[in-house]
Amino acid sequence: MVKLNMNDNYDKKILIVDDEEDICELVRYNLLRDGFKVTCSNSGENALKKAVSINFDLILLDLMLPGIDGLEVAKILKKDTRTEQISIIMLTAKGEEADIVTGLEIGADDYITKPFSPRVLVARVRSVLRRKKKKTEDKNSVLKIHEFLIDSGRREVTIEGETVDLTFTEFQVLKFLAKNPGWVFTRNQIVDAVKGEGYAVTDRSVDVQIAGLRKKLGNFNNYIETVRGVGYRFTGK
């Protein structure tokens, strides 16, 4: 019998999606011990059904699943208004840079490679949920700067009344830079602000996000300025 800790985690619901029963049980045991409510699923299809019927706070998602793989599951979750706000931590044996970049692009909140330390995993879960709480508190905020209107609640950006279609991560990067006009941030500082400290990502991944963002901003891309040898800033000009 796993003894539950009566703490702030008791009402947080987590879905573990992994076709390896031993890993599911290991993660489940450690999360239960920390006070979380935990459900397991061994396939992408089953996970999607559970996600729309139960209001999960976070999903631990393996990439290598039978049938629908983890990346496709994440894409579907982020495109569905019923599930787009669920935090996702990718838990996988695939640790190549391309996989990390893809996870970022889809909107994953963290990326943990196997083998992993159960204590570290629980700590990362807590960190993601803390960030989610802060985002929820700020969700109704609207930032207006220059021609930009950045609506956190709708996760929507408009420029002179025209909507700009951004990915989850592009939106987060733009909002962070625009909230601090004139300040120069390193790539690591941008990652820490958008995804949280300790997020496994490379400098190149940040450059990819900035390049995509600039392309979508079109004639207004000059507001994101490269500071050679340091990083990026949103100009106050």
Which of 88, 104, 137 is the endpoint of a domain?
A: 137
| Average pLDDT of the residues of the chain | 84
Examine residue 3 and state whether it is found in any structural domain, yes or no. Answer: no
Phi and psi at 162, nearest 5°, equal -95, 130
Residues 125 and 156 grouped into a single domain:
no
CA distance 180 to 198: 22
Helix then strand then coil, in percent of the chain rounded to 5, is: 45, 20, 35
Q: Is the pLDDT of residue 215 over 90?
A: yes
According to the model, what pLDDT value does residue 24 have? 93
The CATH code of the domain that includes 94 is 3.40.50.2300
Q: What is the pTM of this model?
A: 0.58
pLDDT band at 7 (very low <50, low <70, confident <90, very high): low
Closest CA to 38 of 48, 49, 25, 21: 25
Residues 105 and 175 grouped into a single domain:
no
Q: Is the pLDDT of residue 6 over 50?
A: no
Examine residue 1 and state whether it is found in any structural domain, yes or no. Answer: no
Mean pLDDT of 94-112: 76
Residues 195 and 132 grouped into a single domain:
no
Per the structure, how many domains does the chain have?
A: 2
According to the model, what pLDDT value does residue 9 have? 64
Ranges of beta strands (E only) in 146-200 are 148-151, 156-159, 162-164, 185-186
**Domain with 200 in it:** 142-234
According to the model, what pLDDT value does residue 52 have? 93
Q: For residue 58, give both structure tokens.
A: 């976070």
Residues 133 and 151 grouped into a single domain:
no
Neighbour count for residue 229 (Cβ, 10 Å): 6
Mean pLDDT of 16-42: 93
Mean pLDDT of 87-107: 78
